[in-house]
A and B are shown apart, each in its own frame.
Chain A
Amino acid sequence: DVKVTQSSRYLVKRTGEKVFLECVQDMDHENMFWYRQDPGLGLRLIYFSYDVKMKEKGDIPEGYSVSREKKERFSLILESASTNQTSMYLCASRSTGYNYGYTFGSGTRLTVV
């Protein structure tokens, strides 16, 4: 069964900490995405990547960075976590040229205290 795996289901971090959210897919997909989900706002795109070492800003990139050193892994980095980054984070992937079938991970619920 194809999968997108997010390393942590729940995470609690302190303000100012550097936080890494990891996402791994086993489908050999080129495209990977990071979204955050907040009540009443739906899902909003933070960053995406079309290939290894390639990244593009989404709608709300401020306060975040990403890393894609290997095709299967896409990391979201909070350089200095703040309380307004408390949210559910969802990773997704899909294959190029296949315009449906985004596969999502189960999400990481991050709380910054």
Chain B
Amino acid sequence: AQKITQTQPGMFVQEKEAVTLDCTYDTSDPSYGLFWYKQPSSGEMIFLIYQGSYDQQNATEGRYSLNFQKARKSANLVISASQLGDSAMYFCAMWEEDFGNEKLTFGTGTRLTIIP
């Protein structure tokens, strides 16, 4: 089974609209972390937001928020008021630690295109 599933290979969104990028995960570990990264055409992975499994509140960072639904194992990224510069690949990733060995597992990504 996939550890991280992103079901939207591509999305087109009108500028200034809000957008939700889906991410579901699979783990039996009670302690884990969820990340979202942005990858523009330049190739660099840019950290956007982090949610710990024990965090009570949904994480927010400026226009980014993470809709964390633990029972559903869902960690969707919400971008409010989208901008042209938001066009990029977006990756969801899960951090786990097992007997001192850590692992960051990525989904297959969603290509977001913002339309003027």
* B29, CB-defined interface residue at 8 Å: no
Q: Report the separation of the CA atoms of residues A99 and B103 in the bound assembly, to the nearest whole angstrom.
A: 10
Q: Report the separation of the CA atoms of residues A9 and B104 in the bound assembly, to the nearest whole angstrom.
A: 23
Q: Is the interface of B mostly helix, strand, loop or mixed?
A: strand
* B106, CB-defined interface residue at 8 Å: yes
* B12, CB-defined interface residue at 8 Å: no
Task: Please tell me if the beta carbons of B104 and A102 are within 8 angstroms of each other in the complex.
Answer: yes
- Count of A-B residue pairs with CB < 8 Å: 55
Q: How far is the CB of A89 from chain B (nearest CB, A)?
A: 10
Q: Is the interface of A mostly helix, strand, loop or mixed?
A: strand
Among A9, A44, A102, A109, chain B packs the most CB atoms within 10 A around the CB of A102
Q: Report the separation of the CA atoms of residues A69 and B106 in the bound assembly, to the nearest whole angstrom.
A: 28
Q: How far is the CB of B111 from chain A (nearest CB, A)?
A: 10
Residues of A in contact (CB 8 Å), total 25
Q: Report the separation of the CA atoms of residues A51 and B43 in the bound assembly, to the nearest whole angstrom.
A: 27
Q: List 16 A-B contacts (CB under 8 A).
A: A9-B43, A31-B102, A42-B6, A42-B108, A43-B93, A88-B43, A99-B95, A101-B50, A102-B35, A102-B45, A102-B47, A102-B104, A104-B37, A105-B44, A107-B43, A107-B44
| Interface residues in chain A, defined as those with a beta carbon under 8 Å from any beta carbon in chain B | 9, 31, 33, 35, 40-45, 56, 58, 88, 90, 92, 99-107, 109
